[in-house]
Amino acid sequence: MNDVLNTPTTDGAEAETAVGDEPTAGDQQNRFQVRLTNFEGPFDLLLHLIFAHRLDVTEVALHQVTDDFIAYTKEIGARLELDETTTFLVIAATLLDLKAARLLPAGEVHDEEDLALLEVRDLLFARLLQYRAFKHVALMFAELEAAALRSYPRAVSLEDRFSDLLPEVMLGVDAPKFAEIAAAAFTPRPVPTVGIDHIHAPKVSVPEQAHRIIALLEERGIGEWATFSELVAECTDGLQIVGRFLALLELFRARAVAFEQPEPLGVLQVSWTGDRPTSEHLATADAEE
């Protein structure tokens, strides 16, 4: 802030070169103009010159600027826009704080309060940068809006050669069907359970299987043959088949049945001899198993 230009600036082209975003000539005629001893031009241009260090803020009579703006608002009356008034208040408050900070004495400062006031200067420049950023973004949005207004939606239907390619829309779902779908979706799902039957298999009784074999062979008669497959046809699991085979061995030991196998690993045939093993013998065999 040491190199400050204190000469009046009235050339709009020069200001545009220094700042780069000043209002156009048409906007300058409709906006608030500042007339001071060392400056005459748009209010935005005054801010940009101070920001670019081309004008010393201490030489700007802010009270005169405020009086001119009040007179300007009375002149245009109801045509005054709220955005313009808000912008003036923000810029004027920033310039006032900036001018107060610039008027503080320079040099080493030992008082913490004075040091804090000097630090305000940096904050004021940050506010100016923020204001300028918002202004640039507003211009960008305005350009995007203008470009979007030049876009027009398609107002005609597709050509026949393209519309024929579209598949026919067939919903096939009416209100009752939607009700069924909703009912199925909101029906509570059953709580999953884990079966433990395979962990502890039920015990197979060898005496019971022996009595069942005798009953099957008795239906056929003494000396009539039945294959092992026929004797275990009614078994529902592997444990029953094993239990029935053990029962056959106990019956063979008790001479209640006879075996016949024409060849090794051939079909095993069983016949009843007519004898019945005692319950004590079968109970002993069951206890041994």
Tens digits of per-residue pLDDT, 36-56?
Answer: 665 666 666 666 666 555 556
Q: Which residues of 105-138 are buried (b: 16+ CB within 10 A; e: fewer)?
A: eeeeeeeeeeeeeeeebeebeeebeebeeeeeee
Distance CA 226, CA 269 (A): 5
Least trusted range by pLDDT, from 134-143, 153-162, 199-208: 199-208
Task: Please tell me which residue, 272 or 123, carries the higher pLDDT value.
Answer: 272
Q: Does residue 252 register a pLDDT over 60?
A: yes
pLDDT band for 12, please (50, 70, 90 cuts). very low
Instruction: Note the helical H segments in the chain.
Output: 12-19, 25-30, 43-51, 62-76, 82-102, 112-149, 160-163, 175-186, 206-220, 228-231, 238-253, 279-288
Residue owning tokens 């204190």: 6
Q: Is the pLDDT of residue 26 over 90?
A: no
User: Which residues are bridge partners to 272 per DSSP?
Assistant: 222, 257
pTM of the entire structure?
0.31
Distance, in Å, from the CA atom of 59 to the CA atom of 112, rounded to the nearest integer, reads 27
Q: Could you give the percent of the chain with pLDDT greater than 70?
A: 54
pLDDT at 236: 82
- The stretch 180-194 carries a mean pLDDT of 86
CA 264 from centroid of its chain's CA atoms: 71
**Least trusted range by pLDDT, from 80-89, 183-192, 278-287:** 278-287
pLDDT: is 130 or 9 the higher one? 130
**Cβ within 8 Å of residue 157, ≥6 positions away:** 163
Between 208 and 118, name the one with better pLDDT.
208
Domains by residue range for the chain, with CATH: 12-149 (no CATH), 206-288 (1.10.10.580)
Mean pLDDT over each residue of the chain, to the nearest integer: 71
Residue 151 scores a pLDDT above 80 = yes
